[in-house]
Amino acid sequence: MKIKKIQSQVCVRTASTSLPHTMPCRNEEIMVLLPSFNDSFPSSKTPEEICSVLQAVTSPPRLRLFQPCNEEFIGKVTPSRFRVVSNISYRNSFLPCIHGSIHPAGNGSEIIIKMRLHPAVAVFCSIWLGFMAFFFLCGLLFAFADGFLQALPLLGPSLGMFTFAQVLIRLGFLIPARKARQRLRELLS
């Protein structure tokens, strides 16, 4: 079961969420092993106006790694969707990739944003966390068989590395994700 935190309510998803009557949750932070963030908000602007605002603050992807860029975001923007990352002056492997879609709604638009880790980073982190969980479980089995003190050299480092990885990944992802979300809401509302 995955538990998702929403601004003022909690949305619980189980294996039965693929049923057609299940409504998707919006404005949620997914807190499983790897962080991700979903958000949706209305805008009084049309999709074309949103596209022009985003294009004004977005630079196309750079061919050279250290080419200077003054825009707030780097990526691709079309009238119906955008794929961007924040333009930062430091290295952060956990910087969220922002995928957004723009849907006309009445006199304005509905903007849906999904923030995820880069797929290569997600694979690396999954392998890292998986190995640490495996060694921790082996340590637990060893603790039941031979005693806690005998298993401590396996339990301590694996639990420490797992905790360190979680803190590193979450801080590296969630701080820039919240800043990007706030800036996108300012630009597009």
CA dihedral sign, ordered 145, 158, 125, 32: positive
Residues 98, 25 share a domain: yes
CA dihedral 16→38→175→71, nearest 10 degrees, is 150
Residues 154, 88 share a domain: no
Give the pairing of strands 10-13 and 2-6. antiparallel
Residues 30, 72 share a domain: yes
Backbone region of residue 49 per phi and psi (left: phi > 0; alpha: psi in -120 to 50; beta: other values): alpha
Residues 93, 154 share a domain: no
Is the CB of residue 44 less than 8 Å from the CB of residue 107? yes
**What is the per-residue pLDDT for 170?**
93
Residues 133, 44 share a domain: no
Q: What domain range is 110 assigned to? A: 2-118+176-188
Q: Residue 25 phi/psi, 5° resolution?
A: -85, 145
Residues 129, 83 share a domain: no
Query: For the whole model, what pTM was predicted?
Result: 0.75
Q: Give the CATH number, domain containing residue 59.
A: 3.30.530
C-alpha closest to that of 96 among 121, 67, 125, 126: 121
Spatial strand order in the sheet of 81-86: 10-13, 2-6, 28-31, 35-43, 108-116, 97-105, 81-86, 73-77, 58-59
C-alpha closest to that of 129 among 176, 163, 177: 163
pLDDT in tens, the chain (189 residues): 344 443 333 333 333 333 333 334 445 555 578 999 899 999 999 999 999 999 999 988 876 566 677 888 999 999 899 999 998 888 889 999 999 999 998 888 999 999 999 999 999 999 999 999 999 999 999 888 888 888 888 889 999 999 999 999 999 999 999 999 999 999 988
Residues 69, 54 share a domain: yes
Structurally, the chain folds into a number of domains equal to 2
C-alpha closest to that of 154 among 136, 166, 127: 136
Rounded CA gap, 154 and 135, in Å? 7
Residues 20, 6 share a domain: yes
